[in-house]
Structure 1
Amino acid sequence: MSEHNKPNLSRRQLLKNIGLSVAAGAVVAGTATAVQAQVTEPEEKKNEKTTGYRETQHVRDYYETL
């Protein structure tokens, strides 16, 4: 067989290595995000005074007029 007809094995090996590198990178990226994921628990609410909605008598009187 002459040099011209021989398949270029280095090109095939390069393509195999690129494919394996991409696959290995995907596996590492998938495991790295799973390791970094954390469950955070909400902090305990201390006795904080809230200024939220309160239904008082004048609010109930207003609702009755609607």
Structure 2
Amino acid sequence: MSEHNKPDQSRRQLLKNIGLTVAAGAVAAGATTAVHAEVVQADEKKNEKTTGYRETQHIRDYYETL
């Protein structure tokens, strides 16, 4: 074969590299994990004692309407 009829290897290599880059990007995007922030409450709220649910007058009034 003459030099003129040989296929252009640089173009083929470029297309292969583009395909590999896209595939590697898809794998990297799928492998990443989301980071979730954790909210830490202040210690002063932990020291407060709560009595839980308290039925006040406005709550009793609401229950009467049901």
Secondary structure of 1:29's counterpart equals helix
Instruction: Quote the offset at 1:32 in angstroms.
Output: 1.0
Q: What are the Cα deviations for residues 26-56 of structure 1, in whole angstroms up to 9, with x where unaligned?
A: 10111113xx255x6xx8xx74x88xx72x1
Distance 2:31 2:11 in 1: 31
Residue identity (%): 56
Partner of 1:31: 31
Partner of 1:22: 22
Partner of 1:4: 4
Aligned residues between the structures: 53
Segments of 4+ in structure 1 off by > 4 A? none
Q: CA RMSD in A?
A: 3.4
Q: Extract unaligned runs of 5+ from structure 1.
A: none
Q: Quick one: which amino acid aligns to residue 2 of structure 1? A: S
Q: Extract unaligned runs of 5+ from structure 2.
A: none
Return the TM-score normalized by structure 2.
0.54
